[in-house]
Amino acid sequence: MYSRTDRLAFTIEELAEAAGLGRTTIYREVKSGRLRLTKIGKRSIITVAEAERWLAVVSGTPGSAAPE
């Protein structure tokens, strides 16, 4: 697993591994708009803040909000 101070962003593969999910699930969440990618050149990354926001939303954590 990762510590919040270890990194600023994940690749899709890294987020899938860290969350214990398959890459297909992450791609599906991105396609649906529930998980937002950041493009830097040709690379697609997911910031730690976005990953934490998404995990709170999909896990139903009280006080979490879906993206507008």
Q: Scanning the structure block, which residue is given the tokens 């919040």?
A: 4
7 vs 68 pLDDT, higher one: 7
Q: What was the pLDDT predicted at 24?
A: 97
Could you tell me the pTM of the whole model?
0.78
Domain locations in the chain as residue ranges: 9-59
Residue-wise pLDDT for 2-57, tens only, equals 555 578 999 999 999 999 999 999 999 999 999 999 999 999 999 999 999 999 99
Q: What is the pLDDT of residue 26?
A: 97
* pLDDT given at position 7: 84
